[in-house]
Amino acid sequence: MRSIGVGVVGTGFMGAAHAYAFRTAPLVFDLELVPRLEVVADVRREAAEAAARRYGFARAVGSWRELVDDPAVELVSITTPNDSHREIALAAFAAGKHVYCEKPLATDWADAKAMAKAAREAGVSTLVGYNYIRSPAIAYIRRLVQEGVLGEPLYWRGIFEEDFLADPATPFSWRCRRDVAGFGALGDLGSHLVGMAMFVMGPIASVVGDKRTVIPERRDAPSEASAELYGAQIGAAAAKEAMRRVENDDTAHALLNFSSGVTGSLLASRSHWGRKNHLAFEVFGTKGSVLFDQERFNEVQLFLREGDPARQGYSKILIGPAHPPYGQFTPAPGHGLGFNDLKVTEVAHLLEGLAGDTELYPTIPDALEIERVLHAIDRSAAERGWIEVAEVD
Ligand SMILES: NC(=O)c1ccc[n+]([C@@H]2O[C@H](COP(=O)([O-])OP(=O)(O)OC[C@H]3O[C@@H](n4cnc5c(N)ncnc54)[C@H](O)[C@@H]3O)[C@@H](O)[C@H]2O)c1
């Protein structure tokens, strides 16, 4: 069995998910190439040390450069806030290493483009963390659409709502900063939505968008971790309980025209109370429709216009071994997967791609196409009119 040396940069929400997935993927999938957990890095060195102990990395370091330069690391996993993705990825490419990067790629279009160009030139493998498309339910829905079970597709409608910034009393965080996060809900949540739309329905040709910051300022009292990271400037402001202007969108909408002629719409919001991970979409076709909701991602609602109209209605299909790769996790239908299983499936896809057994998707150049749509929505919102996605170049 071959192995590959892995380095994970960052130990927050996604760093933990990546580390867990690297540990777990070989237990769930039959992999030709298995990960060796070599190095974990975090600017908060004690967090890296704790992660090394918990997940079994051989070494913990306080600087991503040390991780990238480590000869035992062949694959660099980037789970830091968006402003550092470009620098870390470019250094990894220069060292000839594969890159697994969290979404979105970067805080602006120029950086995202630079990452895609460098990835192509480096000739290494890349994957971006659009984990929701790894769900067995999504593979099933994609097949329904592609095999024409819904007839001719007519309309796609998607929503991604969370409420982590619904409370005006929630303090300012890195996600509210233009220079660290880039877009707000549009980049954080809308990127998943656009990625999902393109995965199921194909490319998007034109958009008209709108963006709003619904809670314009927040108390500048960052968590200890972000004060340490982003410096005394924030710390001093926090001491005075200053308010700080939110620099990006809480809510973004768009109308979409897919290249296929299908039309659609999307809404992304981080301030809708009660919604925790409401990544939901519907596809309407000439013969039926399908509905998915990530908060209930072990089921799919399917309506088919066939048979006696008196018996027609949405049927609830519980995901099971008939919907790969569910059966890798458990043989019993309807028992359910969880969020981390999507990350495990994503890492298995990555390792299969690195072993040469499958084509990786979405690579960094593929993810640039998702970001092209986000920038088209942003530009359209500023210009107040329709934009051809290809105009973003
Ligand atoms: N795929 C998904 O479903 C998903 C979900 C959440 C976040 N994300 C993405 O993951 C990335 C991280 O988000 P998060 O929620 O894990 O953030 P987080 O704030 O929980 O964690 C970030 C970690 O990076 C560390 N860090 C920051 N700058 C660093 C640097 N220069 N070098 C080394 N370590 C550094 C921090 O100390 C922290 O441990 C973002 O790009 C975000 O958009 C993806």
Ligand 1: centre distance to CA 285 (Å): 38
Q: DSSP strand E in 214-277: where?
A: 217-219, 243-245, 251-258, 263-269
Ligand 1: centre distance to CA 178 (Å): 15
Summarised one tens digit per residue, pLDDT across range 229-259 is: 655 444 455 555 699 999 999 999 999 999 9
Give the mutation target among 8, 14, 55, 343 for probing the ligand 1 site: most ligand atoms within 8 A of CB. 14
Ligand 1: centre distance to CA 80 (Å): 4
Q: Residue 188 above 60 pLDDT?
A: yes
Q: What confidence category does residue 387 fall into, taking pLDDT thresholds of 50, 70 and 90?
A: very high
- 4 with 74: CB under 8 angstroms? yes
Residues with a CB atom less than 6 Å from ligand 1: 9-15, 41-44, 47, 64, 79-82, 84, 102-103, 129, 131, 188, 225, 229
Rounded average pLDDT over 318-346: 98
**Cis-peptide into 325, omega within 30 deg:** yes
Ligand 1: centre distance to CA 10 (Å): 6
**Which among 342, 360, 338 has a CA at the least distance from the CA of 351?**
360
- 230 with 222: CB under 8 angstroms? yes
Q: What confidence category does residue 225 fall into, taking pLDDT thresholds of 50, 70 and 90?
A: low
Lowest-pLDDT range, 39-48, 213-222, 283-292? 213-222
* pLDDT (0 to 100) of residue 222: 62
Name the closest-CA residue to atom 3, ligand 1.
131
Rounded average pLDDT over 117-121: 98
Instruction: Give the nearest ligand 1 atom to 343 CA.
Output: 1
Ligand 1: centre distance to CA 24 (Å): 20
Ligand 1: centre distance to CA 51 (Å): 14
Rounded average pLDDT over 363-383: 98
* pLDDT (0 to 100) of residue 1: 84
CA distance 195 to 92: 25
Q: Is 179 helix (H, G, I), strand (E, B) or coil?
A: helix
Q: What confidence category does residue 221 fall into, taking pLDDT thresholds of 50, 70 and 90?
A: confident
As a whole-number percent, the residues of the chain with pLDDT over 90 amount to 94
Rounded to a whole number of angstroms, the distance between the first and last alpha carbons of the chain is 43
- 193 with 265: CB under 8 angstroms? no
Q: Residue 164 above 80 pLDDT?
A: yes
Residue 193 burial (CB < 10 Å; 0-12/13-18/19+)? buried
Rounded average pLDDT over 214-229: 77
Rounded average pLDDT over 62-89: 98
Name the closest-CA residue to atom 38, ligand 1.
12
- 252 with 267: CB under 8 angstroms? yes
CA distance 338 to 11: 20
* pLDDT (0 to 100) of residue 227: 60
380 Cβ contact list (under 8 Å, min separation 6): 207, 208, 209, 254, 386, 387
Instruction: Give the nearest ligand 1 atom to 82 CA.
Output: 41
β-pairing verdict for 278-285 and 288-293: antiparallel
Residue 103, both tokens: 């979404």
- 92 with 65: CB under 8 angstroms? no
Q: What is the pTM of this model?
A: 0.95
**Cis-peptide into 203, omega within 30 deg:** no
Q: Is 204 helix (H, G, I), strand (E, B) or coil?
A: strand
Ligand 1: centre distance to CA 12 (Å): 6
Distance of CA 29 to the CA centre of its chain: 22
* pLDDT (0 to 100) of residue 226: 62
Rounded average pLDDT over 148-158: 98
Q: Residue 101 above 90 pLDDT?
A: yes
353 Cβ contact list (under 8 Å, min separation 6): 125, 127, 359, 360
Give the mutation target among 9, 18, 76, 80 for probing the ligand 1 site: most ligand atoms within 8 A of CB. 80
Ligand 1: centre distance to CA 87 (Å): 14
Instruction: Give the nearest ligand 1 atom to 17 CA.
Output: 16
As a whole-number percent, the residues of the chain with pLDDT over 70 amount to 95
- The CA-atom distances, in angstroms, between 256 and each of 285, 365, 380 are 16, 22, 12
Q: Residue 55 above 50 pLDDT?
A: yes
Instruction: Give the nearest ligand 1 atom to 129 CA.
Output: 1
CA distance 35 to 29: 12
DSSP 50: H
CA distance 109 to 112: 5
CA distance 325 to 139: 9
* pLDDT (0 to 100) of residue 233: 47
